Amino acid sequence: MRNIPPANGSLAPSAQEIGESAAAQTVLTFDDNRLASVLFGQYGQNLALIERRLNVVAASRGNQVTIEGSREACEQARRVLQNLYEQLKRGHDLAQGDVEGAIRVAIAQGSLFDFDPTAVPPSFEEINLRKRPVRARTAGQDAYLRALKRHSLVFGTGPAGTGKTWLAVAHAVALFERKEVDRIVLSRPAVEAGERLGFLPGDMREKVDPYLRPIYDALFDLMDARIVERALQTGEIEIAPLAFMRGRTLSNAVVILDEAQNTTSIQMKMALTRLGENGRMVITGDPSQVDLPSGQTSGLAEAVRVLAGVEGIGHVAFTSEDVVRHELVARIVDAYDRAALASLRKRGAGE
């Protein structure tokens, strides 16, 4: 067994490669038992995810883990575990999405045998909030955060589970906490309710709450609950149903228009032209889940096409590779995409 000196005295891995063939074995020992337990995951779920994604076998015992597989896969698994361990040492929480993100980074980097765990995370963007840091987990999310910093208007399109809304809220909260904007305006078309919102019980906030629940969840996840409630009471965080935004000019505000695939062309143009001085706008949606009446053009799809290349506007299109929910979500998205493509080909052949 060949001993590898620790990178910084806190992580002491040792590695053994079996022959010069593709088969290899790597043994990692972590000096903090508590962090090692968090790293491996409850009932070893993080190791199980690494096994499935990298095609290795990982067996843990105490603060030690043995990885077996191809030389490249063992190297990638080693980098994933060392990357995540360094994050834990910095005090960051570790969720399944972080593990998935680290795996994708390792795969994208290929075989880098001079990997230095103290140099991670790579160059992915991070948002520092008072409650918790928010880090991009995929290349798509990284591009999204960079676009949000660079442009006043950003379109984020793609399948569910890619973090479009959550990262948009994180960006808005960061601007609000740094006092770069005075308020956050949240909007979403209530397609299912149509013109019947007035018949729903409660005040305006209570009427649209069911449609804005994902944004509320993100707010309470990223800000202290008392601050959120106070900001909602003072109007610093405003719930603005899309239909009620006509005629307004939203200055010194960051506007998030969620589920924008369900806007009509007229609604989208109206929303886009609400942007005022020192205003920011993030428009998110999944073009594959349009709930508009058959034959009606999605305002999101039209806006992305018409505004392509316009200076000051960014667009990031997420794919199933950026899904950070349960790993099955990415497979579900892929399966539906394949079915849709097969249906198009079948119709084309029929014609």
CATH number, domain of 39, equals 3.30.1370.10
Give the model's pLDDT for residue 230: 94
Condensed to tens digits (0 to 9), the pLDDT of residues 70-95 reads 988 899 899 999 988 988 888 777 87
Computed on alpha carbons and rounded to an integer, the radius of gyration of the chain in Å comes to: 23
SS3 307: coil
Residues 305 and 193 in one domain: yes
Do the domain assignments include residue 173? yes
Residues 180 and 299 in one domain: yes
Residues 6+ apart with CB under 8 A from 260: 189, 268, 271, 283, 284, 285, 299, 300
pTM of the predicted structure, to 2 decimals: 0.69
Give the model's pLDDT for residue 149: 93
Residues 168 and 276 in one domain: yes
Residues 34 and 146 in one domain: no
Residues 106 and 188 in one domain: no
| CATH number, domain containing residue 291 | 3.40.50.300
Do the domain assignments include residue 348? no
Give the model's pLDDT for residue 199: 53
pLDDT exceeding 70 applies to what percent of the chain?
79
Do the domain assignments include residue 159? yes
Average pLDDT over residues 130-145: 87
Residues 231 and 193 in one domain: yes
Give the model's pLDDT for residue 247: 80
Retrieve residue 162's tokens: 């890619």
Q: Which of 92, 117, 142 is the last residue of a domain?
A: 117
Condensed to tens digits (0 to 9), the pLDDT of residues 243-287 reads 778 888 889 999 999 999 999 999 999 999 999 999 999 999 998
* Res. 98 pLDDT band, cuts 50 70 90: confident
Residues 113 and 243 in one domain: no
Beta pairing partners, 127 = 134
- Is the pLDDT at 290 greater than 60? The verdict is yes
Residues 168 and 224 in one domain: yes
Do the domain assignments include residue 350? no
Residues 44 and 173 in one domain: no
Residues 221 and 319 in one domain: yes
Residues 103 and 171 in one domain: no
Q: Which residue has the higher pLDDT, 135 or 203?
A: 135
Domain residues for the domain of 196 are: 127-342
* Count of domains observed in the chain: 2
What average pLDDT is seen over the chain?
81
Do the domain assignments include residue 122? no
**How deeply is 236 buried, as exposed, middle or buried, from its count of CB atoms within 10 A (0-12, 13-18, 19+)?**
middle
Q: Which of 117, 144, 175 is the last residue of a domain?
A: 117
Residues 140 and 241 in one domain: yes
- Of 143-152, 205-214, 339-348, which gets the smallest average pLDDT? 205-214
* Res. 300 pLDDT band, cuts 50 70 90: very high
Helices (H), 92-180: 96-109, 139-150, 164-177
* Res. 216 pLDDT band, cuts 50 70 90: confident
- Is the pLDDT at 170 greater than 80? The verdict is yes
Do the domain assignments include residue 325? yes
Retrieve residue 332's tokens: 């579900």
- Is the pLDDT at 227 greater than 90? The verdict is yes
